[in-house]
Structure 1
Amino acid sequence: MPERMRGLEGALAEALSPSWRQRVRAGRGLAAFADVPEAAEALLGLLLDVEDTAVTRQTAEALARVGSVAAIRLIALAVAGADANQADWLQTGVYDALGPDGVPDVAAACGKLARDPEEVVRRGAADISAWTDGTRC
């Protein structure tokens, strides 16, 4: 099995862990696989983690740092399904990734997601854009 796939398998297993630390590690590890359906499903669960806000925040940060359309789409989907507390931590995770200089790939991804066929994705991308005052996303 190629090393990349072993990393995916390990992170998928950690995503189901009762340990919040392992779930955080899984979110970071899976972010690079946002375009892989199994990883995307696990990442969405981590973004909406009901047990620990650190998992939500750090998974959102990892995905925002990746900045691909697939990664930002997962954050947008999570925003649509999040309660107010989860949305706050998703927003904080995105802010953590953007830093003072922003992440240009996030802006490009949001632009593409504004035309996504799914309404919930478009709404989530609009929320992400509003969080950043439209200057970075």
Structure 2
Amino acid sequence: MLSGLEAALAEASSPSWTRRVRAGRDLAAFADLPEAAGALVGLLLDAEDTAVTRKTAEALARIGTVAAVRLIALAVVEADDNQADWLQTGVQDALVGPDGVPDVAAACRNLAQDQEEAIRRGAAKISAWTGETRC
């Protein structure tokens, strides 16, 4: 029987967009693991369906850890304009409502000190999406 991580990794490459959405949601809890990180960035930059991009970004933003937001930041700098729009929508979906996720802004502030310039750039964009004036 496959573990939750193994099952989600298998679904991340499914031809079914609904399975890829589920994989993004399930893998978000494992954002700090290298084996999940690559699959998550792939889902954030899904070329087949914008729902996968949006829902994976939302799931990672809801987790709100530095590791999770770092993956979104990495995807932001690699994304085309359309993907970036859906990444932003996913992050904003996580932030709306009474149980919004304020940790995203804190993670962006932390990532502003990252050694990788691309991560700093991506974090600055995400910070702007959260309404933060500084990162």
TM-score of the superposed pair, with normalisation by structure 2 = 0.94
Aligned pair 1:125/2:123, yes or no?
yes
Structure 2: how far apart are the matches of 1:6 and 1:22? 16
Equivalent in 103, 106, 115 of residue 105 of structure 1:
103
Identity, in percent, stands at: 77
The aligned residue for residue 13 of structure 1 is 10
Give me the CA root mean square deviation: 1.7
The aligned residue for residue 94 of structure 1 is 91
The aligned residue for residue 27 of structure 1 is 24
Structure 1 runs of 4+ aligned residues shifted over 4 Å read none
Deviation of 1:128 after TM superposition, in Å, equals 0.5
TM-score of the superposed pair, with normalisation by structure 1 = 0.93
Structure 1, unaligned runs of 5 or more: none
Structure 1: how far apart are the matches of 2:58 and 2:75? 13
Structure 2: how far apart are the matches of 1:132 and 1:91? 9
Deviation of 1:37 after TM superposition, in Å, equals 0.4
Count of paired positions: 134
Structure 1: how far apart are the matches of 2:130 and 2:78? 20
Deviation of 1:34 after TM superposition, in Å, equals 0.2
For residue 95 of structure 1, what is the amino acid of its counterpart?
A: Q
Structure 1: how far apart are the matches of 2:102 and 2:13? 32
Deviation of 1:132 after TM superposition, in Å, equals 2.3
Structure 2, unaligned runs of 5 or more: none
